[in-house]
Amino acid sequence: MKDPAKVRAYNKAHYVADPDRHRARSAAYRAANPEQTREATRRWFAEHPEYRRQRYAQNPEPERERASAWAKAHPEYVRAKSAQRYADHPEQWENYRLRHKDRINEASREWRAAHPDDVRTYKIERWARQKGNGGTHTTQEWLEKVALLGGCCIYCGRVDLPLTRDHNVPLVRGGTNDIANILPSCKPCNVKKHTRTAVEFIALTQNMPAMTGGRTLMLLAR
């Protein structure tokens, strides 16, 4: 059996003699064996937990930038790990939230202001979950639905008002949050419709332009 100390000394001597060649060979191996490389890296860090803390203490700014860049390049992995960590240790998140309440609230406000459609999608899906009706849709599906229906209110045809998501069959009457049950509506029409279905609202509304009402009924009948 080889002496580990002699092996390390031998490798170090070869690295010092030609570091570029050594780095190139290491990069080629990692590219050809990604799974083995990841597993070896995880095992090494598990055996040397103090290394990350020491490296961060010595170079806090570069380490923060490096971690931030990696997180932006792997958002799905970060979200999954964060959700798992929160599920396993909810008290840690609660302590962090209490210590950094102002910073978290500010970041949340900035995100909501920059992503209004995503915020509306989340609110509607949350309401649907509370009602237990099921169904879901994405912001992209909503935008495609608006474009498909001409970018106007499905009931009055106005294009000068912001559009809201209206449920053809309301959630309170068993409608789902699936995109097939979603129609673009201006807020005044959405409020007036209340808990009626789209067909009921159209039948009740007498002052709606005939072309708009007919178009809506035709679309709903598809």
For 120-177, how does the pLDDT look when each residue is reduced to its tens digit (9 = 90+)?
A: 888 877 777 767 888 888 889 999 999 999 999 999 999 999 999 999 999 888 888 8
One-character DSSP codes across the chain: ---HHHHHHHHHHHHHH-HHHHHHHHHHHHHH-HHHHHHHHHHHHHH-THHHHHHHHH-HHHHHHHHHHHHHH-HHHHHHHHHHHHHH-HHHHHHHHHHTHHHHHHHHHHHHHH-HHHHHHHHHHHHHHHHT------HHHHHHHHHHTTTS-TTT---SS-EEEEESS-GGGT---SGGGEEEEEHHHHHHHTTS-HHHHHHH-SSS-HHHHHHHHHHHH-
Which residue's structure tokens are 């935008």? 143
Predicted pLDDT of residue 1: 59
- Given a cut of 70, whether residue 207 has pLDDT beyond it is no
* Dihedral angle sign, alpha carbons of residues 91, 93, 99, 105: negative
Is the pLDDT at 116 greater than 70, yes or no? yes
Q: What is the pLDDT of residue 210?
A: 40
pTM > 0.85: yes or no = no
pLDDT for residue 206 = 60
Structural domains in the chain plus CATH codes: 116-221 (1.10.30)
Give the least confident one: 11-20, 166-175, 201-210.
Answer: 201-210
Mean pLDDT in residue range 92-115? 86
What is the model's pLDDT at position 117? 83
Q: Confidence band (pLDDT; 50, 70, 90) for 60?
A: confident
- Tell me the C-alpha distance between 166 and 181, whole Å: 8
Contact present, 28 and 20 (Cβ < 8 Å): no
Mean pLDDT of 94-119: 86
